[in-house]
Structure 1
Amino acid sequence: MQSQLFAIIDVETTGGGIAGNRITEICIALLKDGEVIDKFTSLVNPEREIPLHITALTGINNEMVADAPRFFEIAETVEEFTKDAIFVAHNVSFDYNVIRGEFRRIGQHYNRKKLCTVRLSRKLIPGHLSYSLGRLCNTINIPHLNRHRAEGDVDATVILFQRLLSLDENWETINTFLNPRSKQATLPPHIATEQINELPESPGIYLFKNQKHQVIYAGKAKNIKKRVLSHFYDKKTKEYQLGQETHFIDFEITGNELLALLVESEHIRKHYPKFNRAQKWPTTTYQIISYTNQRGIIQLALSKTKVLHDSVGTFYNKTEALEKLEEICETYKLCPRFCTLQSNVEICSHYRIKNCEGICEDTETIEDYNAKVQAALQDLYENKPSFAIQGKGRTEDEIAFALVVEGQYRGFGFFDRSDAICNVEDYEPFLKLQQATYHTHAIIRSHLKKHGEKNVVHFDESPQLANYRVETLRNKRVKSTVEDVFSHWDLA
């Protein structure tokens, strides 16, 4: 094993992620029996402009590479130099994938066994705050000259790798890292193996955090460990960058997928993670509101907004909102003009709603008309549903729940199967309050649409709860399913 050839490699690039990265400089040092036996260094014409911030970092500008060979002109040298060697680099996934990408562009396949000196250092030289090449070299007294140039970084990595070899004389750690079935071969450089080993194979959420413990990605999974590892198998630029910036992984077991979705949504709302795209942007909602006009008539209107306000109801597409407004207007014999279903008319003439009793023609008193509007609003408010969706908890003896009170998502929690839970206030001691949003509404609505009444516990009468501001329900109408009722109400 001691005669094994290692190729210690560093590349400087134009930046732009794995897919768009082009090499501007490459250095390869061949190491055998612990000694450097050969070295290849070259600037490379990337066939594109080098961004100014990259030049500021590396010192390599467009003029320096203008007459340098293009990659296809040195590809044979790179291939021959490394063909019998194990590919070694500090943060090996970066250099390896960039070089593979260059070979791919010229129609060639490049495949080597690889070792990462970041991960090896974490294992063999534990306890340091940073494992970046510069800081690690400073800490353990390795000379690191000409930083951010390929040859300077390779020279420092060679000395680091020589020390790592001396600390792993029987190659127990190196052989583990070379094992293709080992997680070490795919894990990003800054994530300790212990963090992966601690991940549960249960439903819940996981949080990727950067070096400052800031959440940069929140995800949900039926199997947390399996889903986390899948990010590191994915070679897309976004997944690669996510892995490079992740230093810590936290998780929270939820017991079932519904709670995982709701908790994930809360973390995205709270932390606004860099790598989450879904659920980050406000969604346009359509709200039915009421106000009194200059004549003293209570009008209903449709308001388009990205912020949830108090309203009769909130809808997530315009067609559904208009249909509900028309239903209210027709059911309570209101005027389409004063429900803003028609504009620029003195007397209503709606194509479908024909039962207006004359408020627009002054044949109905304002008092009588307003009484009908108040009745409509009262009935609508009283029919906001209260229910809990129960599901599997984190253990066999536990039940998980998501709670909705008068159409508003209030949060989630867990209780023991032996606890006596009969009405809505019994959930309060176990409830973790959460903020309701468009996304929590959509998650619950989707769950109800998929699963129907299964595991839904209804509260036909809701006593006053100071925490929830729930009034006693009066004259509650029966709807076909809780989904039908819930789909119309806002959760703000």
Structure 2
Amino acid sequence: MQDQLYTVIDVETTGGGILGNRITEICIVLLQGDIILDKFTSLVNPEQNIPPFITGLTGIDNDMVRDAPTFDEIADRIIEITTDAIFVAHNVNFDYNVIRGEFKKLGIAFTRKKLCTVRLSRKLIPGLFSYSLGRLCSSLNIPLVDRHRAEGDTDATVILFQQILELDPEYTIINSFLNARSKEATLPPHLDVKIINALPEKTGIYLFKDQKGKVIYAGKAKNIKQRVLSHFYDKKNKEYALGQNTHTIDYEVTGNELVALLLEAEKIQKHYPTFNRAQKKTIAPYRIIQYINRKGIIQLAIDRSKSTDHSLEVFYRRSDAIEQLERLCFDYQLCPRYCNLQSTTERCSHYRIKNCKGICHGQESVVLYNMRVQQALISLKKQKETYLIREKGRTIDEHSFVMIQNGIYKGFGYVHQSEQVSHIDDFETFLTLQKHTYHTTKIIQSYLRKNGGNNIIYM
């Protein structure tokens, strides 16, 4: 390995994500072992505008690159200096993919073995608070001049890599990172490979967390390890940014996909992760409520609120709530006016429901009318079934259950086969309480459509 060639590389770009980046500056230092053989530095005309925030970060503006060579004009020089060399960079996947993308635009395949000085530093210099280039240089007394300029960052990375070579004289760690079967080359820079190796190949949820332990993404999977790794092989802007911000991963095995979906929805609502798009919006349901007006008449109405605790019934479309109220009016001869189906202050005149007995203009007693309202409410309550969905557990000697009580999702739990449970009160002992939301309703409805009455236990 003493004769091995390395190219230490840094690029500055226009920003805009891994797929939209164009290079504005590049610096490449060629090493043989730890000896510098060659160096190439150049501004690059990105052939597009440089955003002001990038200029603020790097100091490179449109005027500086206007007369600089385009990438295709320096492509041969980059190929020449990197041929037969291992591509080395701090957070290597960024620089490597940007350069590879530039070559792809030219119809040229660019493939090199690569090493990441962030991951190598974490392995060989453990215990530091941060492995950003600036923090590492400060901790190791490496001079860093012209931060966020290609040459300044490359010069500092060269010194860092030379120190890494000294810490790994037998090239044990470096060779393990270069192993084609090693995950080290594909994992994000801040994620320890031990975390990946510990992930189970089972159904459940996983949580990506940043340096402060904040959940930045919640997902569910039939195979947790396989799904997590797929994020890091994906070259989309969002997946790349997710990897760059991930420092650790937590997981929870659920045993089946239904509980995984419900738990994923709960985590998204609880943590509001930056990289989740779906399910983040809290949708307030429509509720059928009752109240007594000044005349002592029980009125029904449609309200909208996040709380479902005192609702007679919950809907996620206003049209469904109206349809249910109209059905109650028709079946129990209620007054459309006192069910808030019309806004007139005089006698009712609903376009379809004509069987009101006259409570709205004094032809029926309040007592008799209220009795029919109570009967309607009782029928409404009977429609709201209580049942359990039984599914596979986390191990072969347990099963899971999802509880729906009076039409409202209450949560899930796990019961060992040795437990004697038959009544709903017995199951409540093992219940993990959860919130009933629009998303949990959709998940359960989808499950019931797909599975019909299978696995349903009515209580």
Instruction: With the length of structure 2 as denominator, give the TM-score of the two structures.
Output: 0.93
The CA distance in 2 between the partners of 1:83 and 1:315, in whole Å, is 64
Amino acid in the other structure paired with 1:101? G
Deviation at 1:265, TM superposition (A): 1.3
Q: Find the counterpart in structure 2 of residue 483 from structure 1.
A: none
> Deviation per CA, 1:358-378, whole angstroms, max 9, x where unpaired?
334433223222221122123
Is 1:286 the counterpart of 2:289? The answer is no
The CA distance in 1 between the partners of 2:306 and 2:66, in whole Å, is 51
What is the 5 A alignment of 1:325-336? Answer: 325-336=325-336
> Deviation per CA, 1:180-228, whole angstroms, max 9, x where unpaired?
3321221111000100010011111111000001110111111110110
The CA distance in 2 between the partners of 1:278 and 1:8, in whole Å, is 40
Instruction: With the length of structure 1 as denominator, give the TM-score of the two structures.
Output: 0.87
Q: Find the counterpart in structure 1 of residue 427 from structure 2.
A: 427
Unaligned runs of at least 5 residues, structure 1: 460-492
Amino acid in the other structure paired with 1:456? I
Is 1:80 the counterpart of 2:83? The answer is no
What is the 5 A alignment of 1:380-391? Answer: 380-391=380-391
The CA distance in 2 between the partners of 1:285 and 1:69, in whole Å, is 59
What is the 5 A alignment of 1:2-151? Answer: 2-151=2-151
Instruction: Decide which moves more: 348-357 or 201-210.
Output: 348-357
Amino acid in the other structure paired with 2:89? A
Deviation at 1:429, TM superposition (A): 2.7
Amino acid in the other structure paired with 1:318? R
The CA distance in 2 between the partners of 1:95 and 1:112, in whole Å, is 12
The CA distance in 2 between the partners of 1:309 and 1:390, in whole Å, is 25
Amino acid in the other structure paired with 1:266? E
The CA distance in 1 between the partners of 2:16 and 2:305, in whole Å, is 37
Q: Secondary structure at the match of 1:232?
A: helix
Q: Secondary structure at the match of 1:189?
A: coil
The CA distance in 2 between the partners of 1:350 and 1:104, in whole Å, is 67
Contact kept? 1:282, 1:307, Cα under 8 Å: no
Contact kept? 2:385, 2:405, Cα under 8 Å: yes
The CA distance in 2 between the partners of 1:294 and 1:81, in whole Å, is 88
The CA distance in 2 between the partners of 1:405 and 1:34, in whole Å, is 69
Q: Secondary structure at the match of 1:364?
A: coil
Instruction: Decide which moves more: 317-326 or 336-345.
Output: 336-345
Q: Find the counterpart in structure 1 of residue 214 from structure 2.
A: 214
Report percent identity of matched pairs.
61
Deviation at 1:407, TM superposition (A): 2.4
The CA distance in 2 between the partners of 1:377 and 1:177, in whole Å, is 68
> Deviation per CA, 1:105-150, whole angstroms, max 9, x where unpaired?
3443322222111112222222222211121222223222222211
Deviation at 1:276, TM superposition (A): 0.8
Q: Find the counterpart in structure 2 of residue 487 from structure 1.
A: none
> Deviation per CA, 1:43-79, whole angstroms, max 9, x where unpaired?
1222333333323322223332232222232223222
Deviation at 1:155, TM superposition (A): 1.1
Amino acid in the other structure paired with 1:277? R
Q: Find the counterpart in structure 1 of residue 407 from structure 2.
A: 407
What is the 5 A alignment of 1:303-318? Answer: 303-305=303-305, 308=308, 310-318=310-318
Contact kept? 1:332, 1:373, Cα under 8 Å: yes
Is 1:239 the counterpart of 2:251? The answer is no
CA separation of 1:307 and 1:236: change in aligned 2, threshold 3 A: farther
Amino acid in the other structure paired with 2:319? T
Contact kept? 2:269, 2:282, Cα under 8 Å: no
Deviation at 1:455, TM superposition (A): 2.2
- Output the aligned Cα RMSD: 2.1
Q: Find the counterpart in structure 2 of residue 455 from structure 1.
A: 455
Q: Find the counterpart in structure 2 of residue 339 from structure 1.
A: 339
Q: Find the counterpart in structure 2 of residue 486 from structure 1.
A: none
Q: Secondary structure at the match of 1:250?
A: strand
The CA distance in 2 between the partners of 1:403 and 1:313, in whole Å, is 17
The CA distance in 2 between the partners of 1:165 and 1:242, in whole Å, is 30
Amino acid in the other structure paired with 2:163? R
Q: Find the counterpart in structure 2 of residue 446 from structure 1.
A: 446
Is 1:192 the counterpart of 2:165? The answer is no
Contact kept? 1:87, 1:112, Cα under 8 Å: yes
Contact kept? 2:288, 2:303, Cα under 8 Å: yes
